[in-house]
Amino acid sequence: DTEVTQTPKHLVMGMTNKKSLKCEQHMGHRAMYWYKQKAKKPPELMFVYSYEKLSINESVPSRFSPECPNSSLLNLHLHALQPEDSALYLCASSRLGLVPSNEQFFGPGTRLTVL
Amino acid sequence: GENVEQHPSTLSVQEGDSAVIKCTYSDSASNYFPWYKQELGKGPQLIIDIRSNVGEKKDQRIAVTLNKTAKHFSLHITETQPEDSAVYFCAASTPGRGSNYKLTFGKGTLLTVNP
């Protein structure tokens, strides 16, 4: 298995809802990432987990809460989001934790719309 | 922090022609430079990368060059095909807090290959 999978593909939620995004990889990678991508913009790093521990939080608002239950799974819990949080949320993984030549492999993303 | 500039923002070529996309980076500590292709509705796909101890790398119709002195790297696509049409992102791997590294992306180039 050489891919990163993400569910759901699309998600529409209200500002009072609580939802979760899920990411899974079975490549034995020990680093996993959440990115946010707005239309016609590059991906913006949100969180990095290395060996199941949160290594980087790019000053993301607390309404986004990441979780790494094990080395294969990464969740992003969403609560009280704003319409401006609507974006494509990308998960990525890499073989080694946080080293320079670290190839990151991206999933297809979850298209999130906040009403 | 690192700043990656990418040019051009849009590029239109005829099928069979070559395409060149250029990026510059600001942090001399950056030492890994991947290129991603993102098709509409999909996640970014790693297509080629180069490490700072290498000046050029080629994979079939795709090549990347790196000039560390000038802090400049480029993507070359020869014999372009309509399926090469996509958004291309360059990135630089830079040291962050502690021993963490992260990718900084350029703003992207929309490549259109006309049949």
pLDDT tens-place string over residues B47-85: 999 988 889 999 999 999 999 999 999 999 999 999 999
Task: Find the closest chain B residue to A5 by CA distance.
Answer: B43
CB distance A8 to A109 below 8 Å: no
> Average pLDDT of chain A?
92
Within 8 A of A42 by CB-CB distance, chain B residues are 89, 105-108
Cross-chain residue pair A99–B31, CB shorter than 8 Å? no
Cross-chain residue pair B43–A4, CB shorter than 8 Å? yes
B115 vs chain A: nearest CA distance in angstroms?
24
Within 8 A of A50 by CB-CB distance, chain B residues are 100
Q: What is the 3-state secondary structure (H, E, C) of chain B?
A: CCCEEEECCEEEEECCCCEEEEEEECCCCCCEEEEEEECCCCCCEEEEEEECCCCEEEECCEEEEEECCCCEEEEEECCCCHHHCEEEEEEEEEECCCCCEEEEECCCEEEEEEC
Query: A3-45: per-residue pLDDT in tens?
Result: 999 999 999 999 888 999 999 999 989 889 999 999 999 999 9
For the cut 90, the answer to whether the pLDDT of residue B46 exceeds it is yes
Per-residue model confidence (pLDDT) at position B36 = 97
Q: How many Cβ pairs within 8 Å bridge chains A and B?
A: 62
Nearest CB to B105; choose among A43, A99, A109: A43
For the cut 80, the answer to whether the pLDDT of residue B3 exceeds it is yes
